[in-house]
Each structure stands twice: as C-alpha cells, then as structure tokens.
Structure 1
Amino acid sequence: MKDQNNLSRDTMWKATVSCDSAYDGIFFYAVKTTGIFCRPSCKSKVPNFENVSFFSNAHEAQRAGYRPCKRCRSDLNIKIYDPFECVLEDTMRLIKNNYVQNMSLNEIASRVGVSRFHLNRIFKERTGYTPRIYLERIRVKKAKELLLTTVFNSTEIGYQTGYQSVSSFYNAFKRNTGFSPSQFRAFHSGNTENQELD
C-alpha cells in the first residue's frame, strides 16, 4: 500500500493533476487561495502548484484551517462515499419526484451538479440506460397504475404523467409495454371490447 510519507511532492502533484484515484485515501491536497482540500481524484479545476499543500489525512487538512470540497466530499470515508453513486441516486430521486414536469437533461444535470455529458455517462454506466429512458419508464409505470385503478381516458392519463402530446404518450407506452394504453387496460381488465380510441 502507498504511504503519503514515502511520496515526493512531485509524485503527489502529478497524481493531483491527473486526478489519479489510486491515491485517494493516501493523501489530500489543499488549495491556499480557496481554503478547500480535495482528494487526488477530484475533478475540480487544477490549482497552481505554488498554492497547493499536501496532507496525509482529512483531519490534518481541517486542523490547518481548510474546508472539505463539496464536489469530491473529501471529508467522508472513501470506502463509504462514491460520488458517482450519489449523482445517480440524486438523479433518480429528482426524476421520480418530478416526472410530471417537462425537465430537460440540461436542467436535471444542473440540479444534481454535473454536466449533461457527465450525467448521461454516469447514469448509463451504472444502470445500462439513459436518464431519458429512466424518466420514460417512471412515467409509463405510473400510467399503467392509472389505467388499472382509474376511469381516466388515455389522453388524460398521458397529460397526468408528464407527456406533452397524446402521440408521445402512446409511442412511449407501446414501446415499453407492447400495448397501446387502451389495449393494456382491456387486456388487464379482461375486456377486449369497448377499447377507447387511441
């Protein structure tokens, strides 16, 4: 295992500049001009070399008067904190709680504190699909519940689940279930007659 005491300032600087996660937990770097300390893997802007101090642990950095970085959460135990997992959880919670709203990917990314590109990449790596597909699945799940538990027609349910048009609701529903909304309702109610027009 690496030991901060055996690392040269140059080695730690190179790890910092390259955001090398292999050094996370081995040392922390602090930036004099911002008063913040980070993990080596932090994706924040690379500071000027002359403004950087290195510490073997977070407590040392805090005792020296530095605050933990909110981006890499340098104050948390590395074994329990995964910043990508937090982005994923925040995104999923945001979508679940706001699926009726017409939020763009840019807005979602902004609200969870990452770029649109970064959000798409993290989400797809962790789940196998994009935030847009996740939103669609949440909306379709809610639409299925409404189709089976209410008397609202497909148009009303489409708008209640966040779709801006009947056709976008119909297409998303069919793509996810293999049925049109009225076919789904009829199939699950055992009534193949009297299907409403989609």
Structure 2
Amino acid sequence: MESIQDNDDYGVMTDEKWQAIISNDASYNNIFFYAVKTTKIFCKPSCKSRVPNKENVCIFHNAQQALAAKFRPCKRCKPTNERLPDSEWVTQVTQYIDKNFTEKLTLETLGDIAHGSPYHLQRTFKKLNGITPVEYIQHLRLSAAKEYLRQTNKSIEEIATCVGITNTPYFITLFKKKIGHTPAQYRQMIKGGEIIDEKG
C-alpha cells in the first residue's frame, strides 16, 4: 500500500494557502480544505476558528479526501455543508479531553479547539454526557490522582501538578469534596487496606 504522503494526496502547503488560512480568505473555499492533525477536524480556508500550528496542518483538494483520511467536518464552517451531529461533536471533544486533561483546559480553549462557542459546547456536552466539560476534566484528573496515590510515592504537590492542577490547596480541597478524604488520608487508607472506591 502506497503512503499518502509519498503520493502527496494531502496536497502541498504553500505560502499562498497558509495566508488564506490565517486570513480566513473565503475566495479559496472549495479550492482546498485544511485539516488539523491534533483535533482530527477539517475546515474551509474561511473558517473563523483559532489558527492552528502550521506543522499540524495538512491540505486536501476536496472534502471527500479529508473524510477518507478520517478527519471530521468542522461544526463552525461546515466544509461538507452538512451539520455535524451533536453526538459526534461531543465525542470529538471528549476524545481530546481524554488525551489532554493534564493540560490547561478551559471552556474557551475547548470551544476554540472544537470550533464552536463555549456556551453551546457546555450545554451540548452536559445534555449528552450528564456532566459539564469541566466536571469531566475534574473526574479524569482525580481518577489519575488516585492511581498516583496508589502506585507511587510522589508528594501531594507533585501529583497535583502531574494531573494538571497547579494549585495544591485547590487540588486537596477538590479531592476531599469529590472523594470524601484528603489525598493524604486516601493514601493512608490504601496502605491500611481499608480503602473502598466510593464516590468518583
């Protein structure tokens, strides 16, 4: 099987195309489409979403090529002229959070990445998942923190940083609120063999 890159099916990123992307130039719509490898989303050149890193961008001659390469259409600029179903959109966002929950993620950042408004994202995510994106991020961070407490001797401060929470007192407060014990108490209970995975 021949490599896509070798055949250059992705098209070539020229200065002209890059300028069209960063200036949202609608005159290039349908001449080419661009996709972002990190988000797996593809767009029209005129898309008003945040400008991606150039090295993460690949170029397609048409929407069918992008779809065949497993990229999904942007919810904001609708490159296939169809609306992306909410369930697919939220799946994209959830997968991104799963991979990047240790990074600084705000609703605004997620809206940018997912090419939609933060308000709409919050409402749609909660409608489909039962919790908000922020609650979902907290859940992943606390689950990872519990693993660190079980498996490592890292300090509470190190664990907080590892799971993406730079404020240690906030981490301890959040952990106690959601899990029912402070991280230190949780670790002691594991060592004593009395931990039962209760809430969260």
Selected match of 1:143 from 124, 128, 145: 145
Q: Hey, which bits of structure 1, 4+ residues long, moved more than 4 A? A: 33-36, 72-76
Letter in 2 for 1:135: I
Q: Name the CA distance, whole Å, in 1 between partners of 2:164 and 2:79.
A: 38
Written as runs of structure 1 = structure 2, the 5 A alignment for 1:1-198 is 70-71=74-75, 83-190=85-192
Q: Is residue 74–residue 84 contact of structure 2 (8 Å, CA) maintained in 1?
A: no
Q: Is residue 125–residue 132 contact of structure 2 (8 Å, CA) maintained in 1?
A: yes
What is the count of residue pairs matched by the alignment?
126
Q: Unaligned 5+ residue runs, structure 2?
A: 1-26, 31-63, 65-72, 195-200
Give me the TM-score of the superposition, normalised by structure 1: 0.56
Q: CA deviation at 1:71?
A: 3.5
Q: Name the CA distance, whole Å, in 2 between partners of 1:105 and 1:114.
A: 10
Farther off after superposition, 136-145 or 162-171: 162-171
Q: Name the CA distance, whole Å, in 2 between partners of 1:93 and 1:137.
A: 14
| 1:107-147 superposed Cα distances (whole Å, 9 cap, x missing partner) | 11110111001100001101111100100000000000000
Tell me: CA distance 1:35–1:139, structure 2 relative to 1, closer, same or farther (3 Å).
closer
CA RMSD of aligned residues (A): 2.9
Q: CA deviation at 1:74?
A: 9.1
Give identity over the alignment, percent. 25
Give me the TM-score of the superposition, normalised by structure 2: 0.55
| 1:141-185 superposed Cα distances (whole Å, 9 cap, x missing partner) | 000000000010111100111002111111121122101001111
SS of equivalent to 1:123:
helix
